[in-house]
């Protein structure tokens, strides 16, 4: 359900950027979604598809790029790849990890032509 709000925000952002690019069309929008952002790409895609239909971005290509998650162990400083919030450190087995990458949720780039 919150994906709909996020899709609206995507529309807001590309509308804002488009308004300063008169004569150009946004042809490609890259959206970055962290593995641990709490957003399901399919649900976001579906919401964007609904909003895009019959809008000035009907022909714009939306690319969803998933960013893998990374955590740092608060005990030994080791960096580990994680895919959930309950992983443990591969070096010292501590469960006290801080997520340092993978929570991203942003419009990464817009291509105009």
Partner 1 sequence: MCDTCGCQSEDEATYKKPGDTNHDHTHSHPLRHVLDVNRDLLHDNDLMAERNRGFFEARKIMAINLVSSPGSGKTTLLEKTISALHKDIRFFVIAGDQNTLNDATRIEKTGTEVIQINTGTGCHLDAEMVHMAIRKLDPPRNTLLVIENVGNLVCPALFDLGETKRIVMISVTEGEDKPVKYPHMFKSSDVCIVNKTDLLPHLDFDLAQLRGNIKKVNHQMKVFELSALKGEGLQQWLKWLTAQKTP
Which residues does 58 contact at the CB level (< 8 Å), separation at least 6? 52
Q: Which does 27 bind (CB under 5 to 8 A by kind): partner 1, Zn ion, none?
A: partner 1
Of the candidate residues 45, 70, 78, 103, the single one contacting Zn ion (CB under 5 A): 78
Query: Which residues have CB under 8 Å from 100's CB, separation 6+?
Result: 70, 71, 72, 79
When asked if residue 91 is in the footprint of Zn ion (CB under 5 A), the reply is: yes
Q: Is 70 in the site for Zn ion (CB under 5 A)?
A: no
Nearer to partner 1, 68 or 108 (CB): 108
Interaction site with partner 1 (CB under 8 A)? 1-2, 5-6, 9-10, 12-13, 17, 24, 27-28, 31, 36, 38-39, 84-86, 95-96, 99, 105-113
Q: How far apart are alpha carbons 6 and 32 in whole angstroms?
A: 12
Between 51 and 110, CB nearer to partner 1 = 110
Strand, coil or helix: what is 106? strand
- Which of partner 1, Zn ion, none has residue 11 at its interface (CB below 5 to 8 Å by kind)? none
SS3 helix, strand, coil % of the chain, rounded to 5?
25, 35, 40
């Amino acid at each position: 359900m919150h994906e709909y709000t996020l899709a609206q925000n995507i529309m807001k952002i590309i509308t804002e950027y488009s308004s300063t690019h008169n004569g150009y069309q946004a042809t490609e929008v890259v959206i970055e979604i962290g593995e641990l952002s709490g957003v399901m790409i399919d649900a976001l895609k579906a919401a964007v598809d609904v909003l895009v239909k019959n809008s000035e971005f009907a022909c714009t290509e939306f690319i969803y790029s998933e960013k893998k998650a990374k955590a740092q162990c608060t005990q030994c400083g080791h960096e580990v790849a994680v895919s959930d919030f309950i992983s443990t450190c591969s070096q010292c087995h501590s469960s006290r990890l801080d997520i340092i990458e993978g929570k991203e949720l942003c419009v990464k780039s817009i291509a105009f032509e």
